Amino acid sequence: MIAAAAAYYEAQQEGLGHRFLASVQDTINRVLLNPRIYPVVDIDVRRCLTKTFPFGILFRDKPRQVIVMAVMHLRRDPDYWKTR
């Protein structure tokens, strides 16, 4: 999913795929700094939105680790990630 999205953005404009990947990494870094500030969207799954692209990082905050569940496009069915 991430690679396909990066390839799509890169095809739209040179360098945009790289900026997308950097945005996803920045979002993950923000999650790692303080995972509990992000809203719960499903039982124990939280979501942090990217700043520039219509994507969210879905993750679980566990003791001593953060588990990324999905990088979700916000304009798709909001529950599609649950079957992945």
At 79 the pLDDT is 61
Could you tell me the two tokens for 34?
């303080």
Strand runs labelled E in 1-84: 40-42, 45-49, 55-62, 65-73
Domain positions in the chain? 2-83
- What CATH number belongs to 2-83? 3.30.2310.20
**pLDDT tens, residue by residue, 3-48:** 999 999 999 999 999 999 999 999 999 999 999 999 999 899 999 9
